[in-house]
Structure 1
């Protein structure tokens, strides 16, 4: 039965998508939101062993361990790159891909490029500053803070060390900066259903190539939210995913 096909949520540079509202909103579909290398329970992973390719292989091992034969991949921001490359590497195991403002070009990875250029002390100071003022971090992202959003932001900011941010930032810059990346994505769009999901407040900054918008299985703009839509409105985000997958 198609509703048995799991939805795999792949987080962006910061945070975790294992949220009760996402499980509830996608029910009865199984939802898997594993900690990637360097995140959550795996924060102790050496930074030198963390990059996009390693995340793809780790995610594959996780799904094998759960005996998942085929899944819908949902990747947010940098996680969109992980999801796309996973689908290219393991096409028979992917029912569809949902790119949630996933990085297509270096224009999308502009913040990652900034983090990638920092030295270790500067990256640590940046993350500590965010943690000390989670409300300010939300405000800078265009998100009005309430108690629930603030608690979730604090959880996200504590979910990874600065070294993980730098390793992933450097890797996504290398991947999206390579000429062959867009060529790979064109092949993926031609072979599998790829949905594009953006927030109303951040859509204009998402550098989606013209061909991708034309070839996408669907293009959805979620009203009233921005790039951190799953933090800003987790219920609405889950409902949008459920509609896409239906």
Structure 2
């Protein structure tokens, strides 16, 4: 069975577009939009509504009325679930890659959201300036290739985008309506779960989501940044899970 078009939705750090991952999914069409505040859209303000609109614009422009599979990493799943809830006819499936189910999945975002602007800027700029520490925080040995990839990912967004994203996602996931939204999407859309082998145990997936998921897979020898650490292996796991659900 051919794969539907795949739209990759990046998390707090972009861009979530790696040619090695996409090659494993050929001939499916793969794309990854720059959400507001990121990449080509750096400088734009970040809100959940705005990110969902950016995602919808991308899907409309590339695929018209053809339903797509959303592959959403970390906080990107918040935007993907909103899009799937509001436009179910546009979504053939959704893969949440250690996406946020609750505030328990947003530890650093909660910390940033609680900071005043100057404090948040200092914290984030320190983080963005240290690719080796970024990798080490996910248990990744900082090889030359991985440090270059990490530096590129950290340069993809300015500090304010990270702060605004954290605040927006914390507000959304803290809402009493958030779990109801997730349950609606699980009830009518094929949702699959993907985690890294090192980070899976820390992912706060509720029991009902495990039971209702159409697929559940682990990327071996990888953590939360699996798409950066093991791009080919990540692509193979995606292909397998999408072809079996």
Q: Which residue of 2 aligns with 1:195?
A: 192
User: Which ranges of structure 1 fall in alignment gaps of 5 or more residues?
Assistant: none
Whether the 8 Å contact between 1:127 and 1:157 is mirrored in structure 2 is no
Residue 140 of structure 1: how far off its partner (Å):
1.6
Q: Which residue of 2 aligns with 1:26?
A: 25
Whether the 8 Å contact between 2:191 and 2:214 is mirrored in structure 1 is yes
- Alpha-carbon separation, structure 1, partners of 2:14 and 2:60: 24
Q: Which residue of 2 aligns with 1:227?
A: 224
Name the SS of the counterpart of 1:220 in structure 2.
strand
Per-residue CA deviation, residues 198-229 of structure 1 (Å, 9 max, x unaligned), is 11111111111100000000111222111111
- Alpha-carbon separation, structure 1, partners of 2:181 and 2:128: 37
Q: Which residue of 2 aligns with 1:55?
A: 51
Q: Which residue of 2 aligns with 1:160?
A: 157
Q: Which residue of 1 aligns with 2:240?
A: 243
TM-score by length of 1: 0.94
Alignment of 1:179-190 (within 5 A): 179-190=176-187
- Alpha-carbon separation, structure 2, partners of 1:196 and 1:216: 7
- Alpha-carbon separation, structure 2, partners of 1:79 and 1:209: 18
Q: Which residue of 2 aligns with 1:64?
A: 60
Whether the 8 Å contact between 2:190 and 2:213 is mirrored in structure 1 is yes
Name the SS of the counterpart of 1:66 in structure 2.
helix
Residue 123 of structure 1: how far off its partner (Å):
2.6
- Alpha-carbon separation, structure 2, partners of 1:87 and 1:234: 25
Match among 137, 161, 167 for residue 140 of structure 1: 137
Q: Which residue of 2 aligns with 1:8?
A: 7
Whether the 8 Å contact between 2:197 and 2:220 is mirrored in structure 1 is yes
Name the SS of the counterpart of 2:37 in structure 1.
coil
- Alpha-carbon separation, structure 2, partners of 1:110 and 1:173: 10
Whether the 8 Å contact between 1:104 and 1:208 is mirrored in structure 2 is yes
- Alpha-carbon separation, structure 2, partners of 1:55 and 1:128: 22
Residue 57 of structure 1: how far off its partner (Å):
1.2
Residue 125 of structure 1: how far off its partner (Å):
2.1
User: Which ranges of structure 2 fall in alignment gaps of 5 or more residues?
Assistant: none
Name the SS of the counterpart of 1:34 in structure 2.
coil
Residue 156 of structure 1: how far off its partner (Å):
0.6
